[in-house]
């Protein structure tokens, strides 16, 4: 996606590196202001980083991952993520040999934003919340790009090279279909998987879905603003799901959005206080 006129006064600073030789001293393949590389993977990732950057800048006013216009770096062919997937590594997004979907890159943008703000722990409920926030804002970035309303969106999570319904890895509408919990009654108590963060992320995911579909319209503009304000203004390192419920209620009040819709959604996933 090209950067729009509205964003022209503030530009992204994108840098794409090759991780095949030495990940600690990677080769720069393309940077902001430079010519296209003629490598479809490099140029595709460059455009996807721009789309993710524009989503957060235009919708939520965030200037890059660090909030100060710092560089957005991606390390390609790092040999760690699966093709088409992405992973946040402290200061950059790691990618494999395949072009990731926008939602996968936006999810890692979110991971970086969390690192620079709330610094949510990566274990247990704070970890599940962090995973959920990445999945939520990843989907919102995709919906923004497609200009879909909450009613038009399918709410499926994908990370494939050519994402399709058959390649979905999760669903905010029906987390249980993909092995995620959709209610605190199904919360997975485990020491594995960082305390079940991926399985338990479905609880907060489903709460968001219920708010988004109840409020209708463009989810990034309505429910998404509540969640973003809750993250930026209320969340901290140890915020669990119950505390984030209170955060979203506070954010809804601040934004003059219906708190009863938010409370009802959290109640539906088993979190009443």
Extract the tokens encoding 82: 């699966």
d(CA 130, CA 94): 18
CA 135 to each of CA 62, 198, 204: distance values in angstroms, whole numbers, following the listed order: 18, 10, 10
> Does the pTM of the predicted model rise above 0.85?
yes
Please check whether the domain covering 5-116 is classified as CATH 3.10.170.10: yes
CA angle 44, 23, 10 (to 5 degrees): 45
pLDDT of residue 63 exceeding 90, the answer is yes
pLDDT of residue 81 exceeding 90, the answer is no
Say what the pLDDT of residue 160 is: 53
Query: Are β-strands 72-76 and 86-88 bridged in parallel, bridged antiparallel, or unpaired?
Result: unpaired
Secondary structure E strands in 135-267:
156-157, 170-171
Say what the pLDDT of residue 79 is: 78
Q: Tell me the pLDDT tens digit for each residue of 219-242.
A: 999 999 999 999 999 999 999 999
Say what the pLDDT of residue 98 is: 84
CA angle 33, 68, 66 (to 5 degrees): 100
pLDDT of residue 257 exceeding 60, the answer is yes
Say what the pLDDT of residue 96 is: 87
Class of domain 124-268: mainly alpha
Query: Are β-strands 156-157 and 170-171 bridged in parallel, bridged antiparallel, or unpaired?
Result: antiparallel
* Average of per-residue pLDDT values in the chain: 92
- Poorest-pLDDT segment among 4-8, 42-46, 192-196, 243-247: 4-8
Over residues 81-107, the mean pLDDT reads 90
Q: Tell me the pLDDT tens digit for each residue of 112-171.
A: 999 999 999 999 999 999 999 999 999 999 999 999 999 999 999 975 544 444 578 899
pLDDT of residue 7 exceeding 50, the answer is no
Domain with CATH 1.10.390.10 in the chain: 124-268
Domain with CATH 3.10.170.10 in the chain: 5-116
How many residues make up the chain in this entry? 273
Task: Calculate the CA dihedral of residues 62, 65, 71, 74 and round it to 10 degrees.
Answer: -140
SS3 (DSSP) at 199: helix
Say what the pLDDT of residue 2 is: 40
Over residues 31-55, the mean pLDDT reads 96
Secondary structure E strands in 140-244:
156-157, 170-171
Q: How many CB atoms lie within 10 A of CB 36?
A: 11
SS3 (DSSP) at 61: coil
- CA-nearest of 101, 73, 92, 95 to 83 is 95
Over residues 207-216, the mean pLDDT reads 98
Place of tokens 């579909």: 213
pLDDT of residue 213 exceeding 60, the answer is yes
Say what the pLDDT of residue 8 is: 43
Extract the tokens encoding 160: 């494939």
SS3 (DSSP) at 31: strand
d(CA 246, CA 44): 39
Over residues 12-28, the mean pLDDT reads 89
């Amino acid at each position: 996606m090209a950067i729009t006129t509205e964003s022209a006064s503030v530009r992204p600073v994108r840098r794409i590196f090759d991780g095949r030789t030495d990940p600690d001293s990677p080769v720069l393949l393309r940077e902001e202001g430079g010519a296209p590389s003629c490598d479809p993977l490099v140029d595709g990732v460059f455009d996807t980083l721009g789309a993710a950057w524009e989503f957060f800048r235009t919708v939520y006013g965030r200037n890059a991952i660090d909030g100060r216009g710092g560089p957005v770096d991606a390390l390609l062919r790092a040999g760690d993520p699966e093709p088409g997937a992405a992973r946040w590594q402290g200061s950059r997004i790691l990618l494999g040999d395949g072009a990731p979907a926008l939602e996968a890159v936006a999810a890692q943008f979110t991971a970086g934003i969390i690192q620079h703000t709330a610094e949510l722990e990566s274990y247990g409920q704070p970890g599940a919340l962090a995973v959920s926030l990445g999945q939520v804002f990843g989907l919102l970035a995709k919906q923004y790009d497609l200009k879909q309303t909450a009613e038009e969106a399918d709410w499926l999570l994908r990370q494939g090279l050519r994402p399709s319904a058959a390649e979905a890895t999760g669903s905010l509408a029906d987390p249980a279909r993909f092995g995620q919990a959709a209610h605190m009654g199904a919360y997975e108590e485990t020491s594995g998987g960082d305390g079940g963060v991926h399985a338990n992320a479905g609880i907060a995911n489903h709460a968001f879905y219920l708010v988004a579909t109840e409020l209708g319209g463009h989810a990034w503009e309505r429910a998404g603003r509540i969640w973003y304000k809750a993250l930026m203004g209320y969340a901290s390192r140890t915020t669990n799901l119950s505390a984030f419920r209170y955060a979203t209620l506070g954010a809804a009040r601040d934004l003059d959005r219906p708190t009863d819709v938010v409370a009802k959604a959290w109640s539906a996933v088993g979190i009443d206080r």
